[in-house]
Structure 1
Amino acid sequence: MEFSEGLTVLSPAEASAVLAEAGRQHLPMFVLATDGRVDRETFFHVVIVWPDAVSPAPDGADEDFRTAQEVLRDITESLTDPVTTNGTPKRVSVFIAVAPGP
């Protein structure tokens, strides 16, 4: 399976297959779990958890780790900005659990 940019609407079975394939390819996954809710509140409060970050990053990827943190920080700032979101700011919380590296 190839993962390309863009939005794809799938059946629940197809979504499970996508998650399984992403796992096989060791890709990071962001899963939006809503328990079947599709109301406005559901999509305007997002919690992102990175439970297994390591610092210092293995293989000298410390700069990449800092970049990832900046990207997540930028996401929270841009999605909570009323101007950027055309008057519909989102509530976004990001948590990064950092374990000491080797």
Structure 2
Amino acid sequence: MKPTPGVTVIGPEEAHEVVRAAASEDCLLFQLSTEGRSGREAFFDAARRTLPLGPPLAGSRSWDALADSLWEGIRALERDRVVLLWPDAASFAETSPEEFRTAVDVLTDVAVSLSDEHATVGRPTEFRVHTGS
């Protein structure tokens, strides 16, 4: 049974297990960090530094543009499974709760749509997102 697409909150010990599992399963792993910063610009900067985006994003204004770019960037990898680990998400959530909720919504929407056979024209990708607690 496949996991439900979306975002899962995990603790530090589980984060180590995510890294180990991704390596043993030949799963592409991205580790996103906002580096102690908060707000929309910090998240967009982290996404530009870490994630496959297609096309690349220049600004930090549009969450929809980020979602579209991330969706296409992950799809272009042509991998069955991709994992995103965001270990410092809890501190980001504490200092930027609204932006955190929006970022989680975007990541969840991307994960759900990438798992859709129809949206991906028969080539779905399992995109798992894990955030630190």
In the alignment, the residues of structure 1 paired with residue 129 and residue 90 of structure 2 have an alpha-carbon distance, to the nearest angstrom, of 16
Hey, what does 1:18 align to over in structure 2?
none
Given that 1:80 and 1:92 are in contact with CA atoms closer than 8 Å, whether structure 2 keeps it comes out as yes
TM-score, normalised by the number of residues in structure 1: 0.53
In the alignment, the residues of structure 1 paired with residue 109 and residue 84 of structure 2 have an alpha-carbon distance, to the nearest angstrom, of 13
In the alignment, the residues of structure 1 paired with residue 80 and residue 117 of structure 2 have an alpha-carbon distance, to the nearest angstrom, of 12
Match of 1:84 among 93, 97, 119: 119
1:31 shift after superposition:
5.1
1:44 shift after superposition:
2.1
Structure 1 segments, 4+ long, off by >6 Å, are: none
Structural mapping, 1:23-102, within 5 Å: 27-28=45-46, 29-30=49-50, 43-54=79-90, 56-58=93-95, 61-98=96-133
1:57 shift after superposition:
2.4
1:86 shift after superposition:
0.6
Given that 1:48 and 1:95 are in contact with CA atoms closer than 8 Å, whether structure 2 keeps it comes out as yes
Stretches of structure 2 lacking an aligned partner (at least 5 in a row): 1-34, 36-41, 53-76
1:42 shift after superposition:
6.6
Deviations, residues 25-47 of structure 1 (Å, cap 9, x unaligned): x7313257xxxxxxxx9722100
In the alignment, the residues of structure 1 paired with residue 125 and residue 100 of structure 2 have an alpha-carbon distance, to the nearest angstrom, of 25
Judged with a 3 Å threshold, the aligned counterparts in structure 2 of structure 1 residues 54 and 78 are, in CA distance, closer, same or farther, namely same
Larger strand proportion, structure 1 or 2? 1
Larger helix proportion, structure 1 or 2? 2
Q: Which has the higher contact order (CA 8 A, sep 6+)?
A: 2
In the alignment, the residues of structure 1 paired with residue 78 and residue 114 of structure 2 have an alpha-carbon distance, to the nearest angstrom, of 15
In the alignment, the residues of structure 1 paired with residue 126 and residue 90 of structure 2 have an alpha-carbon distance, to the nearest angstrom, of 26
Tell me the number of residue pairs that the alignment of Structure 1 and Structure 2 aligns: 64
- Identity %, equivalent residues: 34
In the alignment, the residues of structure 1 paired with residue 51 and residue 102 of structure 2 have an alpha-carbon distance, to the nearest angstrom, of 21
